[in-house]
Each structure stands twice: as C-alpha cells, then as structure tokens.
Structure 1
Amino acid sequence: MSAVSPTTTAEAPVVTGDPAPPASRRGLTGSLRSERRGVRISAWAVVVVFGGFALLPVYWLLATSLTPRSEVFSYPPRLFPSAVTLDAYRAIFDNAALFGYLKNSIIVSVVTALLSVVVSAYMGYSFSKFRYRGRRSLMYLVLSSQMFPQALLLVTLYSVFSAYGLLNTYAALVLSFTTFTLPLCVWMLKGFFDTIPDELVEAARVDGASRLRIIHSIVLPLAAPGLVAAGLFAFVRGWNDFIFALTLAGPDKQTLPPGLVNTFVGEAATAWPELMAASLVVSLPVSIAFIALQRFLVGGLTAGAVKG
C-alpha cells in the first residue's frame, strides 16, 4: 500500500476593503475633480475682479484722505501714500458748519423714511388686500411716475414750493424726497403683503377685529422686514440727494452732499483730502445701516418674487 503524498492547493488571497475601481472610472473621477477645481478658481477670480472694481474707489478715497495736500497731485500717482497724515480729518471735525449739515441730513432723512413707510404701508396694503374699481390702473399710475427723470420735475416743484412759501425749509426737502421714494416703497410693500395669507386676515375679521386693528396688530408686525427695507431705501434717498437739497434749501437747511461741495470745492482750488475724508465719514452711517439691516433689506426686496 503506497503512501499518499499530501497535495498542496494554492488558496486565493483574501481581499479586504472595496475593490480598486477600473482605470476608466478613476480617470473620470479625476477629470471631474479637476473640472470642479477649475470652476471654483474661476468663480473666485470673478469675485476678486469685481470686488476690486467695487472697492478700489473706496480705497482711493481713504488713501487720498490720508495723503498730504502737497502730494495729492504727484505724478505718477502712488497706490500707497508715502506719508500718512490726519490733518484732513482734523479739519472736518473742527468745521462747525459740517455739523449743521449733518443735523439737517439726519432730520430730513429720518422724517422722509418715516413718512414714506407710513404712506406706502397703507397704499401697499390697499393694493394687496382690497379689490375695487380702478385699482390696477392706480397701481400702474403710481409705478409710471418712476419713468420721469427727477430733475425734470425740479422746476415744477420749485415753483409750487415758492408759491406756498416752503422754500428753504425742511418741508420742501421731505416732501420732494418722499414723492420720489413712494412708488418703489409702495410696490415693495405690496409684494410683501401679498405673501401674507388672506385666510389670516379673514380669521381676524371673523373674530371681530376692525380693519385698523388687523393692519396694526397683525399685518404690519408680519411685514417688519418689508417696512425696514422701505425705510432704509427712503433714508438713503434723503441722505444722498444733491440736486434737490442744493436747489430747494438755503444755506441753513442744506444737507451734507451740497454742504460738502460748498465747503471744500472752490472756484480756484479744491481741498481734495478734506473732501475725501468728509465723504468717507458721512458714508459710514449708511454703510453701517446696510450691514446691520441687510437681511431685512434682502427679504423686503425679494418678497413676492415667488408665489406658492
């Protein structure tokens, strides 16, 4: 009886983990990753270019305000000032007339914002929740007023305010600014009121609430982002206006834009560092307001864009 020799069999290796993807799949994954990286780099390049285009004037404003007056017109222009001075900022804070212009700007802008919000809230609510004859025509009539250049109406407003003795008063500036901010504020708030369900208004009416109680206690609190957006738009309109503030108001009631020009721009020379410093300082309140209220502004501007 012959001995049987043991046979050795080669065992298959144990594979741990996922099998390696085919070469074609690896190549496809690599190309997708490279494509996404290219898209990301292109997007950042576009953001940097447009950001630089938007922020370069602001930087030049700051650099000029810190540059000594003797070097403002140096050639070739320097991107970074060779010497930094705060003389321009000291000059504007020592100028008492600028504080008078600042007070006028605050009064006119705040009153314009409040008046625009109050009037446009009632008009927007009427257009959104009521149905009556001539409603659509009146809506488009309000919107069509934006088609006319504002400077075209300056002569008419000047004649009207002169006839009623309103020239060189706060009332002339507030009424003129409110006239041009109302159309956009009305349509902005109408779009926001459209997003508030009619069933909510009907439920309040069934419970016995009056129309004034409904709008004051229910609708307006829900429309707070739209009210903030409309008020901010009207405030900026009153703060930045130049031609109406220069024409309708005298030296005692002029706001900052014409006041800065009258103070630092002369027939023979212009105090550029002081003008740039003052422009930078007066733009800070509006910038801070935009940063603090941007979520309300975006919500108010996009309200009613999507209906569902």
Structure 2
Amino acid sequence: MSAMDTVTPAVRPAKGGPPAPPAPAPVKRRRRADQRRSSVAAWAAVGVIGLFGLLPVYWMLVTALSPDDRAFRFPPDLFPRAVTLEHFRAFAENEALFRYMLNSVVVASITAVLSVVVSAYMGYSFSKFRYRGRTSLMNFVLASQMFPQALLLITLYAVFSEFGLLNTYAALILSFTTFTMPLCVWMLKGIFDTVPDALLEAAAIDGASRWRTLHTIVAPLAAPGMVAAGLFAFVRGWNDFIFALTLADRDTQTLPPGLVNTYIGEFQTSWPALMAASLIVSLPVVIAFTFLQRYLVGGLTAGAVKS
C-alpha cells in the first residue's frame, strides 16, 4: 500500500447537506483569546484617549476648587485636601462677566444662523446647478481656507472703521461669518449631493418652484447637516479671541477677551478664579453638543457617501 493510500482526504459536506463538524477545541480557544486581546486593546485605546481629553478638565476643576495659597503647591495635589467654592461665587457676583456671556450668546447665535442660511443657498447652488464659473467659484471658496485668519485682521479693522462698525456686534458677526462660511458651504454641498435628482424632478413635475423645492423638500432632508454647520459656526463665534479683542470694546466684547481682561493682569494672574470661570463658560457648548450630538454625527457623515 502506498503512502498516498494512507492519507484520508478531507470530506466537505455537499451543498445542502449536513453542516460541517465544529472546529476543534484548540481553535476555539485561540479565537476567544484573539477576541479578548482585541477587546483589551480597544478599551486601552479608549482609556488613553479619554485620559488625554479629560485630564486637563479635571486639572481645571482641581485648580478651581483649591484656595489661592494651595493652587501652586509642589508637588501638586491631585486630590485637593482643602476645597473652596469662593472662585465660583466670585464669578456669580461679577456683573461684567455676565455681560460678556450675553455678548457671546448674541454674537455666536447670530453667526450660526447667518452662516447656515448663506451656506445653504451657496451649497445648494454648487450641488444642483451647472453654470459658467461654478468650478472657479468653488475653488475660490475652498482656497480662502488656506490663509491664516489673523492676516485679515488689519484689513477688516480698516474696513469696519471706515463704515463705522468698530466696537459693534456687526463687526464680530460679519468677521466670524466670513471665516465659518467656507467650511459650512462645502459641508452642506456634500449633503445636498446625496439628495437624488429624481426627487427634485418629481417636485418640478408636481409644479413646485425651485424655492419651494429647496425650502420644503431639500432643507428637511439636510437638517442634520445644517445643525452640524450651525454648531460649528456657534463654537467658532463662542471661542474666538483675537477678533473679539481687536474689533470690540468693553461693552461688546465676548467671553474669551473678557476673561483675560478680568483675571490676567500685568503683575498677577488669578489662576483658580480663571479656571472656575472657564469651566462655567464651557457649559453652554457642552450642553449644546450633548443635545445635538446625534444631529452632529449624522450631519458630518451624511455627505461622506453619494447616493
């Protein structure tokens, strides 16, 4: 008998026949071990990223709760032994900070609404219409993001001064909207690209005008993307420092320069009070992200694949 006769060929179940026998126990154990290692690696990565993101926030909280004489101890106290709420109380009693916060709410909200409205019309035009100069205009909008925004500060200052808009809400809103529009336009264009042209043709056959088609059919479908663009514009207006410091005065300044003017001086900086104020003024953005998270994720991913 030859060696070939002693080898038992692998038996494969016929199509539609009984299922193959289960894998041997060592194979199952290896699979479970690989799954456990993958799960541990994934959770370890999540832990490292979470630590990287949350450790500065925790350190801000520790500093805000520490008395002034213990805020700069070395080695630092990772768990404060003495806790005080005086710095949070000082923020609540400072009327100027509430005025800065009101200015931030007004400027950031109007910036978000104006950016979404203008970007929606531009993005819809780029997505659904074909006309001469369309590609050049799209590239121009994209290229505007290549230049540092601080380079335009002197030019904007001269223009707003010439038109009497310095130290007004209009100067901040127009400058913030200018810088948020390019990204919002491209974000909404990608979302409008996913709307089937057949839907627009059906609306036209039913007698709907282009304006009505945009407002009653396309806009509801693109609502998650509009929310994402509006949230981006709101955060941009809420966090800006250099333009709010240069184009506004004490009565119209927003929170970032207001906090600097309040807590940072030439010879001394009240870091615990500044940390407490920073935590408080971060709450509106955190709350907005919490309630609009599903719209934000849907809007950012809606234009990723064209249907």
Common fold, TM-score beyond 0.5? Answer: yes
Q: Does 1:129 align with 2:128?
A: yes
Aligned partner of 1:282 in structure 2 is 281
Cα distance in 1, alignment partners of residues 266 and 252 from structure 2:
23
Partner of 1:32: helix, strand, or coil?
helix
Partner of 1:277: helix, strand, or coil?
helix
Aligned partner of 1:17 in structure 2 is none
Letter in 1 for 2:133: G
Cα distance in 1, alignment partners of residues 273 and 88 from structure 2:
7
Q: Whose Rg is larger?
A: 1
Aligned partner of 1:75 in structure 2 is 74
Cα distance in 2, alignment partners of residues 25 and 213 from structure 1:
64
Cα distance in 2, alignment partners of residues 193 and 45 from structure 1:
38
Could you tell me the TM-score, scaled by structure 1's length?
A: 0.91
Partner of 2:167: helix, strand, or coil?
coil
Structure 2: which 5+ residue stretches go unaligned?
Answer: 1-20
Aligned partner of 1:138 in structure 2 is 137
Could you tell me the TM-score, scaled by structure 2's length?
A: 0.91
Q: How does 1:224-239 map to 2 (within 5 A)?
A: 224-239=223-238
Cα distance in 2, alignment partners of residues 228 and 234 from structure 1:
10
Q: Does 1:37 align with 2:36?
A: yes
Query: How far 1:304 sits from its partner (Å)?
Result: 2.0
> What whole-Å deviation, never above 9, does each CA across 1:36-92 have from its counterpart, x for those lacking one?
111111111111111101100000011111000110011111101111110000000
Q: Percent identity at matched positions?
A: 70
Cα distance in 2, alignment partners of residues 304 and 97 from structure 1:
42
Partner of 2:259: helix, strand, or coil?
helix
- Aligned residues: CA RMSD: 1.2
Cα distance in 1, alignment partners of residues 110 and 219 from structure 2:
19
Aligned length: 287
Aligned partner of 2:240 in structure 1 is 241
Aligned partner of 2:269 in structure 1 is 270
Cα distance in 2, alignment partners of residues 301 and 30 from structure 1:
40
Cα distance in 2, alignment partners of residues 27 and 222 from structure 1:
52
Conserved in 2, the CA contact under 8 Å of 1:66 and 1:86? yes
Letter in 1 for 2:47: V
Aligned partner of 1:105 in structure 2 is 104
Q: Does 1:221 align with 2:220?
A: yes
Cα distance in 2, alignment partners of residues 203 and 42 from structure 1:
50
Q: How does 1:57-76 map to 2 (within 5 A)?
A: 57-76=56-75
Query: How far 1:307 sits from its partner (Å)?
Result: 2.1
Letter in 1 for 2:130: R
Cα distance in 1, alignment partners of residues 217 and 306 from structure 2:
21
> What whole-Å deviation, never above 9, does each CA across 1:243-284 have from its counterpart, x for those lacking one?
000000011100000000000111111111110011001101
Letter in 2 for 1:61: M
Cα distance in 1, alignment partners of residues 295 and 191 from structure 2:
12
Cα distance in 2, alignment partners of residues 38 and 70 from structure 1:
47
Partner of 2:126: helix, strand, or coil?
helix
Cα distance in 2, alignment partners of residues 46 and 140 from structure 1:
38
Q: Does 1:50 align with 2:49?
A: yes
Cα distance in 1, alignment partners of residues 131 and 114 from structure 2:
25
Cα distance in 2, alignment partners of residues 200 and 71 from structure 1:
65
Partner of 2:74: helix, strand, or coil?
coil
Q: Does 1:169 align with 2:168?
A: yes
Query: How far 1:171 sits from its partner (Å)?
Result: 0.4
Structure 1: which 5+ residue stretches go unaligned?
Answer: 1-20
Cα distance in 1, alignment partners of residues 302 and 152 from structure 2:
31
Aligned partner of 2:146 in structure 1 is 147
Cα distance in 1, alignment partners of residues 45 and 138 from structure 2:
39
Q: Could you list the structure 1 runs, at least 4 aligned residues long, displaced by more than 4 angstroms after superposition.
A: none
Cα distance in 2, alignment partners of residues 208 and 307 from structure 1:
27
Cα distance in 2, alignment partners of residues 154 and 106 from structure 1:
22
Partner of 1:83: helix, strand, or coil?
coil
Q: Which moved more, 1:26-35 or 1:240-249?
A: 26-35
> What whole-Å deviation, never above 9, does each CA across 1:71-123 have from its counterpart, x for those lacking one?
00111111011111100000000000001101100110011011001100100
Partner of 2:80: helix, strand, or coil?
coil
Conserved in 2, the CA contact under 8 Å of 1:188 and 1:303? no
Partner of 2:164: helix, strand, or coil?
coil
Conserved in 2, the CA contact under 8 Å of 1:127 and 1:190? yes
Aligned partner of 1:204 in structure 2 is 203
